[in-house]
Structure formats: C-alpha cells, structure tokens
Amino acid sequence: MTQNAEHVLDHFELFRGPEYQQMLANKKKMFENPRDPAEVERIREWAKTPEYREKNFAREALTVNPAKACQPLGAVFAAVGFEGTIPFVHGSQGCVAYYRSHLSRHFKEPSSCVSSSMTEDAAVFGGLNNMIDGLANTHAMYKPKMIAVSTTCMAEVIGDDLNAFIKTAKEKGSVPEEYDVPFAHTPAFVGSHVTGYDNALKGILEHFWDGKAGTAPKLERQPSEKINFIGGFDGYTVGNTREIKRIFELMGIDYTILADNSDVFDTPTDGEFRMYDGGTTLEDAANAIHAKATISMQQYSTEKTLPFVANHGQEVVAFNHPVGVSATDDFIMALSRISGKEIPEALSVERGRLVDAMADSSAHIHGKKFAIYGDPDLCLGLAAFLLELGAEPTHVLATNGNKAWAEQVQAVFDSSPFGQNCHVYPGKDLWHMRSLLFTEPVDFLIGNTYGKYLERDTGTPLIRIGFPIFDRHHHHRYPVWGYQGGMNVLVRILDKIFDEIDRNTNVPAKTDFSFDIIR
C-alpha cells in the first residue's frame, strides 16, 4: 500500500505504485484484447509520415479535434456584455449546461444563462409554449433588465420563429410589452462561435436601433463624437477590454464598449454573488447609433454587425486581433484620426517600451518557426506579431477560417521576408495540425489548451494563447492588445523559449555547459 495519511498521494503519484502498475498490466493482458505492441508502434510511426499526412489531408467528411465551437456559445458570450442581461437559449437545455461549463472552465467565473428546455413534445409541436413560460419565469426569477434570446440547432431544424414567438409571449404577458427581448437565430450548423457572437450582437443593436421589433419607432441617428468599440469573441476580454478603456481614457476619447463583458467574467470574491456585473448600459446600446464610428477588434467576429452599423451611417473600422507594435500603431492612429485627438505622449512611451523589450529579446525568437491555430482574427494578429519579431509563422490554421481569411493571412506572409515559407490552412483541424507538426516540424506551437495533446504527441512546446485555456489559470486577466498587451504576449513566448532551453541543457556533466544564468 503506497497511500498514507501524512503525505496523501493523489492521482499524479498513486497509480505509479507497483501494485497499481501490476494490476493495470494484468487488466490489459487478460481482458482488454490489446493490439500487438509491435503493431501499435508501427501505426504510431506511420501516423508521423508524409504518406499519412496525405491521407489525412484527403479527408472530406470526418473532423477530428476541431478548433472551433458552435454559434450559440458566441451568442451567450456577447449577450452577457450588456447591463443586467441574461442570455436565454431557445432549444434543448443540455446545450446551455455546456456553454456555462465551457465559459466557467475558461474564466473560473460563474456563467449565467437559461434555456427554454425543449424536449420531444416541443420537437413535434414547436417550442412556443416553452418560450411563453420560459420568458415569464426568467423575468420573475432573475429580474434581468434584458433577456437576449438565441437558438440551438434543435430550434433551428424545426424552424421556430423567434420574432413571432417573442411577440406572442409578450401578448400572453410573459414580459411587459415594452420589455427588451432582442433575439438572433444562431444555428449550430452554420459558422462557429464567432458567427454566433456576430449574430447576437447585431440582433441586440438591431433591436435598439430599428424599432424594437416593431414596438417602437426606429431611432434617428444624430451624429455625435463618440466612438463605439467591439471586442469580438475574445478569451482575454477581462484584461483586453480594460486595457482598451485605459487607452481611450488616455486619449480623451468619449467611447462606448459594445458587449462589455469584462466585469461579469471578473467579479470579486467578497461574500456576494453578482449574477450581473458591469456591461454596456441599454441606454448606451441604443445611443451607440449616434456614434461617429465603430471599431471592431475582430473582423471575423463582426462580419454582419459591421455592415449593419455602416448602413446606419457610421464609419466602421475592422482590425484582426491586433498584437504587437505595428498593429497597435494602426489601431491608435485610427483612433486618433477618427476622434481628431492627439496621440498622447504616454502612449508613445509605452510604444517605445514595447520596442525596447522586443529589441532586448528578439534575438531569442528571430528565425524560430511557429505553428499557430485558433480563431481567424487571433491567428492573423499573432502571425503579424511573429513576423515583426523575425520569426516564421510556418503553419497558420483556423478550423473556422474561410478562403477570404486564407488570402488575408497570405497577404500577411507576403508582407515580410520571414513569411516566405509559411502556409495557411483554412477549415482544417488539429489532427491535420498533427501531421503538419510531424512532417514539417516547428520550434513552438501557439494555441489553446487542446494543443497539449499535440505537444505530447509531437514534442512541440505549446505556448497557450487563445480560447479556451482550461489548464492554466488567470491568463484572461492580462491583455494581449495594445502595447502592454504585446508585452504580455512577448513575455509568454519568451518564458516558454527559456524554459525549453533550460530543459534541454540541464543534465549535469553532459549538457549543462549551456545552462546559463544570464540570458
């Protein structure tokens, strides 16, 4: 018996004990009908080959380890960015359990969302009654200022009409006639979570700007000096949104953050549970129509929202998850141009500090090869930053990236001599990435938590940037946007590089001549 009360062994150590090892070996040999170890080894080696890669890339129907989630998750993420708002997902309830778990696992925060709990009878007769009862219950129980409705694949397949359902629910008294119930159809079989973010945000703006689903007059735009800012589906929303607010304030710009979910995913532990915290006020959401311009930090998270906003007479500016010096320069200059405000010295100093840091450290990154995967905008932002550091973003992959995205990434490659041998992979998954890492190895991999399997299989060290990050804590509190955000990304990359150097040089009397104390 290895377990003891004084030093309790948990799963990390317990099962390495001889009695467990013996037990597991017996189980395998006698009862699992295991494959011949030689055959396992042969297939394992084969799965690393160019031949396997070719078969793997010839796949047409199967998806393995995709780097994307479904629309409704994005809708929930956007909806909680409004003051006192609860997302209401019309469809099967299990989906909502999943969205809440997924967000809680990433942010280590509560995630509030309700479902209309449709079951077989709703599949046959439609979910109208679920909507009528559901809205009434949510309104009574959680006293939200707004209920933002989206759908699951189930409600979409049976064709439930949200506009009509919400109208009927209001007629039946579920919520008051004038109560705000914006909605968006977000089928899970179209696009990904970034599409859902886009649809939900557009739905909310449309609600306030275009006459609240026929219950109020459309708003007349009266141009103001304000600037709207949309972060997009962003796992760093807590740190990023706050950093962006700081920049706006430094510049003296009057702004509205649309879908500001930075506080609801970062509530304090002080004896009180806040279901709602922070968020864009409903008044600001309505008044956002008057703004001078709307800036999206992620073009692919706002593909429908931006044209909608532009159609209401505003300038729109889209970025692709800007990381690093030039990308932040472009963002700051756009802010300055649109607002007519000077770029303050403080930001110039911050910029200089990021350049300073890159100059101090880029020798360690220069020429290194990276593989990146994640959401389309994130991939663009990180690829551009790596090129800026003299690194090669060799494989750039987005399961939810399309042809237009691939062309955009190619243009980033083409803008730098370091991009010459880099390739972009739209619509591919992490099993494709595995083949890429075996057949065209790189020095480092950048991606979310799921990349740890790639790290284990291929030996490529993983730098965790993206969504979701389940197995490391608190990354979301640190920005990746702005000059300070660039600094954080730089440090995260460097830490991994130095850890790897140390790991590779730490054998006494063998490799430790390079185990340097100064770098």
Partner 1 sequence: MSLAKTQSVAEIKARNKELIEEVLKVYPEKTAKRRAKHLNVHEAGKSDCGVKSNLKSVPGVMTIRGCAYAGSKGVVWGPIKDMIHISHGPVGCGQYSWAARRNYYIGTTGIDTFVTMQFTSDFQEKDIVFGGDKKLAKIMDEIQELFPLNNGITVQSECPIGLIGDDIEAVSKQKSKEYEGKTIVPVRCEGFRGVSQSLGHHIANDAIRDWVFDKIPADAAPRFEPSPYDVAIIGDYNIGGDAWSSRILLEEMGLRVIAQWSGDGSLAELEATPKAKLNVLHCYRSMNYISRHMEEKYGIPWCEYNFFGPSKIAESLRKIASFFDDKIKEGAERVIAKYQPLMDAVIAKYRPRLEGKTVMLFVGGLRPRHVIGAYEDLGMEVVGTGYEFGHNDDYQRTAQHYVKDGTLIYDDVTGYEFEKFVEKVQPDLVGSGIKEKYVFQKMGVPFRQMHSWDYSGPYHGYDGFAIFARDMDMAINSPIWNKAKAPWKAAPKATLIAAE
Minimum distance, C-beta of residue 62 to partner 1, in the bound complex (Å): 4
Q: 117 and 95 in contact (C-beta within 8 Å)?
A: no
Phi then psi for residue 86, to 5 deg, are: -110, 130
d(CA 373, CA 196): 20
d(CA 65, CA 452): 12
Going from the C-alpha of 224 to that of each of 53, 288, 452, the distances in angstroms are: 55, 9, 48
Q: Which residue lies nearer to partner 1 by CB, 37 or 508?
A: 37
Q: 116 and 54 in contact (C-beta within 8 Å)?
A: no
Q: 191 and 375 in contact (C-beta within 8 Å)?
A: no
d(CA 486, CA 315): 27
SS3 state at 114 = strand
Q: Which two tokens stand for residue 430?
A: 């992490």
Angle at CA of residue 501, ends 495 and 507, nearest 5°: 135
**DSSP string covering 348-409:** HHHHHHHHHHHHHHHHHHTT-EEEEESSHHHHHHHHHHHHHTT-EEEEEEETT--HHHHHHH
Q: Which residue lies nearer to partner 1 by CB, 182 or 485?
A: 182
Q: Name the DSSP class of 461.
A: P
Minimum distance, C-beta of residue 411 to partner 1, in the bound complex (Å): 27
SS3 state at 1 = coil
Q: Which residue lies nearer to partner 1 by CB, 14 or 507?
A: 14
- Quick one: which H or E segment has residue 149? strand 146-151
- The neighbour count for residue 217, using CB atoms within 10 Å, is 8
SS3 state at 446 = strand
Q: 78 and 200 in contact (C-beta within 8 Å)?
A: yes
